[in-house]
Amino acid sequence: MAITPQSIKDALTAPYHLTDAQIAYYQQNRFIKLKEVFSKEVIDFFNPAISKLVAARSTVTTAVDERDTYGKAFLQIFNLWTEDELVKEFIFSKRMAKIAADLMHTTGVRMYHDQALFKEGGGGITPWHADQYYWPLATDKTITAWIPLQATPLKMGPLEFSAGSHQIVEGRELAISDKSEMILQQKLKLTNFKHVIEPFDLGEVSFHSGWVFHRAGANTTNQMRKVMTAILMDKDMLLKDPENKNQVNDWNTWCPGATIGSVIDTALNPVLFSRQDANSSI
């Protein structure tokens, strides 16, 4: 395994100073894009390890145009942090975890799970959806850090957001699908929520809550759009009684052994940042 240079270790722990305006923007819209969360040095160091693991674990053999909409959207590999110490070091970045806690107004965050989302050249859209449909989590104190491993222009299919759409209850019962794309596209057109689609610079990271609706365009280039994500939650998050079979599956997969009504504190859900620990170390 590659030895992480001290400069990289320092970059993963260095505080990212959010402004009050940025935190207020997130609270209102439930997403934000932040520049220079990670340096080019950091991204270039971890990119090979993530890419190697995705290549090794991917089981997809059919051509893109032979798959359904979900299959065309991306190659999806979960919980890389449990299989590679280098990837774990990146996903467990205290810099990133503190940003999440600051944006959510929580005293700390713990891991829910991670996933690599690699959209192949020629890959299709990612339909409109809200992530928390899949999660048996008691509150909306959840956040996904979406980390492109390259600069991501519009033609590669960056994330698109419906700003403030976490307020919409209709559509929360929809799994990601052609149906969710059709229904939510029509629903969101009837609202005053701003549709935000922008390219990502290298090192720019977006953070979005579990109930904000989002999608991604097709990758019309011949290059892989590589993205790593970390799904984090309030360190005091409780497990709720699952409302659908997907939430049952997530309970068994990402927080096995957690009990309904109790804090999700399992070996797969370590605390990544706590203000109490940070203050005690000063």
For residue 272, what are the CA distances in angstroms to 89, 107, 129, 231, 275? Answer: 11, 11, 27, 11, 10
Query: What is the average pLDDT value for the chain, to the nearest integer?
Result: 91
Locate 258 and state its tokens: 């957690």
* 90: nearest Cα among 178, 201, 207, 8: 8
Q: Contact at 8 Å (CB) between 112 and 135?
A: yes
Domains and CATH numbers, the chain: 6-130+138-235 (2.60.120.620)
Say yes or no to pLDDT of 184 above 90: no
Determine the Cα–Cα distance for residues 209 and 144; give it in Å rounded to an integer. Answer: 6
For residue 112, what are the CA distances in angstroms to 92, 144, 229, 233, 272? Answer: 12, 10, 11, 6, 11
Task: Pick the most confident of 58-72, 181-195, 242-256.
Answer: 242-256
Determine the pLDDT at residue 60: 65
Determine the pLDDT at residue 83: 95
Determine the pLDDT at residue 63: 59
Determine the pLDDT at residue 70: 44
Q: Summarize pLDDT for 194-248 with one digit per residue, the tens.
A: 999 999 999 999 999 999 999 999 999 999 999 999 999 999 999 999 999 999 9
Write the DSSP assignment of 86-124 as a string of letters: HHHHHHT-HHHHHHHHHHHT-SEEEEEEEEEEEE-TT--
Say yes or no to pLDDT of 135 above 70: yes
Q: CB under 8 Å to 97, separation ≥6 — which residues?
A: 109, 232, 272, 273
Determine the pLDDT at residue 97: 98
**pLDDT classification of 173: cutoffs 50, 70, 90:** confident
Of 12-21, 54-63, 91-100, 217-226, least confident by mean pLDDT is 54-63
pTM for this entry: 0.91
Determine the Cα–Cα distance for residues 261 and 236; give it in Å rounded to an integer. Answer: 11
